[in-house]
Amino acid sequence: MTTVVSPFVELRRRLHQIPEPGFAEFKTQQLLLDYLSTLEHDRMELKTWKTGILVKIKGKNPTKLIAYRADMDGLPIEEETSYEFRSSHPGYMHACGHDMHMAIGLGVLTYFVEHQVNDDLLFIFQPAEEGPGGALPMMHSEEFQAWRPDCIFGLHVAPEYPVGTIATKPGILFANTSELFIDLTGKGGHAAFPHTANDMVVAAAHLATQLQSIISRNLNPLDSGVITIGKIEAGTKQNIIAEKARLEGTIRTLSLESMSKIKSRIESLIKGIETGFECQADIDYGANYCQVYNDEKLVRGFMDWVSQSGKAEVIECTEAMTGEDFGYFLSEIPGFMFWLGVDTPYGLHHAKIEPSEQAIEVAIRVMTGYISNIAGA
């Protein structure tokens, strides 16, 4: 017997098959535009920005503009799920739930095309959340500034919570983050003559170990921070001393002060590596995301409303070292983000993650109800 799925679950599955890198979400954008064209309504206006989309829905008697944001890009991960609708793009996967985020956004948008509220609504489909970062340039674009909202909301799937549960908190929810790229250049040579070369494998190994001492010995034990080196590349063959090495990682903190201190300490350690191993070091911090900081009044009101409405179970969670460029929106516009339970044993960015699709309807139900409540249905 064929199982009937909701149109937004079906849209999620179609989106899941076409994950694309940041600012290259061409098929994704077209799929969204094709769906939006089926909703043609005189109350709906649409703009594109790069590979992103902005959709404004006019209210009956607007006093404010309320925004909802969904991110669009995929990750460079080879999918290992059991899905029949697996990624058709080799080496790319929606492993962070952005396919779910977009499907939910379309569901909420569709509801408000059909059910007009008093206030104007803005739906933002934002590219490049995973990198190099789409929120900040999108927020500063002419298209966004013409429709600058008064408040903004977003969600992120959470594998660890059951379906029917949402989790959030006032204040900082996600960390400040920075990419970290370090290139070391020394002198290569024959493996049999190490004294004639400057080995960048050894230099990289020393540096990777030293970097871990920053959190344990330079950061206040009552503060929180993470330095992770996720990738090291060096050398070409087992009997050749490597002339170059590259370390790639991430830094995460719960305060801007700690981020600054960690970067300063990294730069000091690198100077020591240059002296100790007679090499040259170059550092690049790549994309930097500011913290996701929830407006206390708005998020408390949201949590109270969800609890009283019975549309989901709401939990006050602790902050996480997750990074999200939604924080740039919240740095200038009051709003909040929350975790949406999707009940899967595999974590975010895992090749086997299979979020429960039942969470799509939960999120649509919660957000249509909440926005109707604050926008004047």
Percent of the chain with pLDDT over 70: 99
The residue-averaged pLDDT of 69-83 equals: 98
Is 179 an active-site residue? no
Residue 5: per-residue pLDDT: 81
When the pLDDT of each residue in the chain is averaged and rounded to a whole number, the result is: 97
Answer yes or no: are the C-beta atoms of 350 and 290 closer than 8 Å.
no
Does the pTM exceed 0.85? Answer: yes
Q: Please tell me the predicted confidence (pLDDT) of residue 3.
A: 63
Q: Is residue 34 domain-shared with residue 134, that is, in the same domain?
A: yes
Residue 68 lies in a domain: yes
Ramachandran bin of 131, using left for φ above 0, alpha for ψ from -120 to 50, beta for the remaining angles: left
Residues 163 and 300 in one domain: yes
C-alpha span between 49 and 336 (Å, rounded): 23
Compute the 3-state secondary structure of the chain and give helix, strand, coil in percent, each to the nearest 5: 35, 25, 40
Express each pLDDT in 113-136 by its tens digit: 999 999 999 999 999 999 899 999
71 a catalytic residue: yes
Same domain, 84 and 156: yes
Q: How far is Cα 341 from Cα 35, in angstroms, rounded to an integer?
A: 26
The answer, yes or no, to whether residue 376 has pLDDT greater than 60, is yes
pLDDT of 2 > 60? The answer is no
Query: What is the number of domains present in the chain?
Result: 2
Tell me the CATH number at 296: 3.40.630.10
Q: Could you report the per-residue pLDDT of 201-222, keeping only the tens digit for each?
A: 999 999 999 999 999 999 998 8
Round to whole Å and give the CA distance between 71 and 94. 11
Q: Which residues, in sequence order, are CB contacts of 269 under 8 Å at separation 6+?
A: 207, 210, 211, 214
Structural domain for 270, as ranges: 176-288
Catalytic residue among 71, 73, 120, 129: 71
CA distance 54 to 65: 13
Closest by CA position to 227, among listed 265, 257, 274: 265
Residue from 119, 130, 183, 243 carrying the catalytic annotation: 130
- The tens digit of pLDDT for each residue in 302-334 reads 999 999 999 999 999 999 999 999 999 999 999
